[in-house]
Amino acid sequence: MKSIQSVEQFDKVKNEDGTVFMFTAGWCPDCVVIEPELPAIEEKYSSLQFYKVNRDQFIEICQEHDIFGIPSFLFFRNGTEVHRFVTKDRKTKEQIEQFLDEGLAN
């Protein structure tokens, strides 16, 4: 999963057709737990582009998009948010896949 390097990059890639952002931080234990599952998820949903957004580095993006817990996921299509999975709870692979399936259906 690629990491967002700038606000400008975030704004650019969210305009693509099928972009998923994972908001995360190195100190987040729930983020670390799901990390080993991410390559399989990316492979299964290869039509989508996946990006990590470091919550500490890009707090303004988090505030703008109401990200209050991590890991959290936003699904964008052509610049419009079509689905979100934002909770303070630990996420499972199955929950992330359900979120992606719902986002693809929107």
- Active-site residue (options: 4, 20, 22, 28): 28
Is 62 annotated in the active site? no
SS (H, E, C) the chain: CEECCCHHHHHHHCCCEEEEEEEECCCCHHHHHHHHHHHHHHHHCCCCEEEEEECCCCHHHHHHCCCCCCCEEEEEECCEEEEEECCCCCCCHHHHHHHHHHHHHC
- Active-site residue (options: 31, 38, 41, 67): 31
Is 28 annotated in the active site? yes
CB 52 within 8 A of CB 25: no
The residues annotated with a catalytic role in the active site are: 28, 31
